[in-house]
Structure 1
């Protein structure tokens, strides 16, 4: 089967559509992402009402977005591992645990940023 790559504006539109499909899929099928999305949406709104500098607001909002990015990457890793095999394997566990560790580090980082800026 031959596959011709899209170019120019068609490629850009296709890429945006694929990204939106991935976001919609995560919101519809991934409880952890949906929960983080709701929490971070509230935090971003709160960030606009806090009496902080622009750079502090940028840190607050950026940390929220980073949490979502890492959760999407973690979900992608888990999906690929499950696609390869649902059998228990030490490397599959390691890949999933490392993705989870990345998410944990990001959550801790976000909490620290918010606590330092707010207090």
Structure 2
């Protein structure tokens, strides 16, 4: 049991190191964290419904996941070659594009959830 626990602890430690690396090295990840925090605070303030929380949490974490994967892809490409290569650019650009699509989707979800509440708050 002790050996399994040590392996599991190491595994979690490596995962946390990867998340920390992404937060420290990627300005966009810090932006995503800030916007996600604001969205959660808005959810609390507006007392959104459980199904709205579900949508909000899914899109926030989806963006985080893709930003972490984007960082991994960029790092692997940089490890492979520092020279310009068209396919390296394609790999980096498509990974970044996936993050952007997810971020746009999360903004759409946020607008669907919060815009009516904001409008009702003012009128």
TM-score range, shorter chain: 0.7 to 0.9
**How does 1:13-52 map onto structure 2 within 5 Å?**
13-52=9-48
Runs of 4+ in 1 over 3 A off after TM superposition: none
Q: CA deviation at 1:88?
A: 0.8
**How does 1:1-119 map onto structure 2 within 5 Å?**
8-118=4-114, 119=116
Deviations 1:79-110 (Å, cap 9, x if unpaired)? 10000001111110110111011011101110
Q: Which has the higher contact order (CA 8 A, sep 6+)?
A: 2
Supply the RMSD in Å over aligned alpha carbons: 1.3
Deviations 1:2-34 (Å, cap 9, x if unpaired)? xxxxx5111110011111111111222221112
2:40 & 2:18 partners in 1: Cα distance? 22
Instruction: Report if the CA contact (8 A) 1:33-1:71 is conserved.
Output: yes
Report the TM-score, using the length of structure 2 for normalisation: 0.84
Aligned residues: 113
Q: CA deviation at 1:42?
A: 2.1
Report the TM-score, using the length of structure 1 for normalisation: 0.87
Gapped regions of structure 2 (runs ≥ 5): 117-123
Secondary structure of 1:34's match? helix
Q: CA deviation at 1:62?
A: 1.8
